[in-house]
Amino acid sequence: MPKLTIEQLDLRGKRVFLRADLNAPLDGDAVSDDTRLTAVVPTVRRALDGGASVVLASHLGRPKGGPDPKYSLAPVARRMSELLGVPVPLAPDCVGEATTALARALPPGAVLLLENLRFHPEEEQNDDGFAQALAALADVYVNDAFAAAHRAHASIAAITRHLQPAAAGLLMRSELDALGTILEAPKRPLVAILGGAKVSDKVTLVEHLLERVDALLIGGGMAFTFLHAIGHAVGTSLLEADRVETARRVMDAARRRGVQVVLPVDAVVASGLDAPRGRAVGVRDIPADQMGLDIGPRTVERFAEVVRTAGTVVWNGPMGVFEKAPFAEGTLGVGRAVAASPAFSVIGGGDTVAAVNQAGVAGRIGYISTAGGAFLEFLEGRTLPGVEALTEAPR
């Protein structure tokens, strides 16, 4: 069902509890990558322009059940203040008398950032009492943290039992629109590109996508399990022996459905991850003492041919050991091919986003998802607690 969005709310004089994903990497006491912070700015501004004050909430890292200065949101508060052009003070905690007093004193146009939600173990426990304490800080709930929407946590799920209406922020709405297009009404042909290390990480996704896609392009470490399943020796490449039968089952299902499965025809091999360079060989010729660490140039071109004729492309996962320069070219090449395609393209996952940025083509991608796990679970057809908890839009 379509969900209520912040654009449908009258926010004048209201305090908005805005759950964001501000889980940004830090370098000392500074934010080193503000991508996630920048992504939520339009929703904060929408609320402020609508006459509201904003109680901003997020987690940061994985503190072990209590306050830890290393995981304080203080650097995030400073960077958000710069991005918004208004003061963003940091509350001493996310609940408690002092925090409640600060929230209730907020005038329209003001922002308060709560301290790390995960300083309280009740957050990850989806504790109802903790959720009720968070709900008491505001009049309206808005969730803009799609990247955390697959977590049944107190600030994402339980809070909506005590704070209504519960609306999607602008980023959440954009994510749901883009991913919903893939699942419900994609322009055909729909092509999925999957990479990453393991078949086991993507089995559910592959099986779900087979019911929807017209072509499935498989790269990354997971490709070698598929190659082994059709009889190729893969040297010392990553191989999940217990998933070979799964790979065969996937390919049989694809044949029955008329889905084209495209596997690598060549690979860049080397003796190990620290090798200064690799060399491209056909997948029939991988030496017994070498491992495949990237797709080869012929595979990049083969993938590009399929992508060129696509109506919609969804891509998750690198094509090789992307973080190592000698084995990044396959991922970068696929990124350039997706960007050059006339298709509507959607990508998600940290490495995949990093690849299109490194290739200089991010501006030519249709939609770049901020999420990793939530992106995959949504495409797998799972119900995301953070989405399910939102109020349904009026008909």
The DSSP string of 238-281 is ---GGGHHHHHHHHHHHHHHT-EEE--SEEEEESSTT-S--EEE
- Any catalytic annotation for residue 330? no
- Any catalytic annotation for residue 36? yes
Write b or e for each residue in 312-344: b if 16 or more Cβ atoms lie within 10 A of its Cβ, otherwise e.
bbbbbbbbbbbebebbbbbbbbbbbbbbebebb
- Any catalytic annotation for residue 320? no
Instruction: Indicate the burial class of 53 (C-beta count within 10 angstroms; 0-12, 13-18, 19 or more).
Output: buried
Q: Please name which of 144, 137, 135 lies closest in space to residue 163, comparing C-alpha atoms.
A: 135
Q: How many CA atoms lie within 13 A of 214 on its CB side?
A: 14
Q: Give the Cα separation of 212 and 217 in Å (integer).
A: 14
Q: Please name which of 56, 46, 94 lies closest in space to residue 77, comparing C-alpha atoms.
A: 56
- SS percent in the chain: helix, strand, coil, step 5: 40, 15, 45
- Please tell me which residue in 61, 372, 373, 381 is annotated as part of the active site: 373
List Cα–Cα distances, 267 to 201, 243, 291, 296, 357, in angstroms: 21, 21, 9, 4, 23
- Please tell me which residue in 14, 15, 36, 302 is annotated as part of the active site: 36
Q: What is the side-by-side order of every strand in the sheet holding 279-282?
A: 279-282, 266-270, 291-295
Q: What is the gyration radius of the CA atoms in the chain, in angstroms?
A: 23
- Any catalytic annotation for residue 350? yes
Instruction: Indicate the burial class of 67 (C-beta count within 10 angstroms; 0-12, 13-18, 19 or more).
Output: middle
The DSSP string of 154-190 is TTTTGGGGTS--EEE-HHHHHHHHHHHHHHHSPPSSE
Catalytic positions are: 36, 198, 350, 373
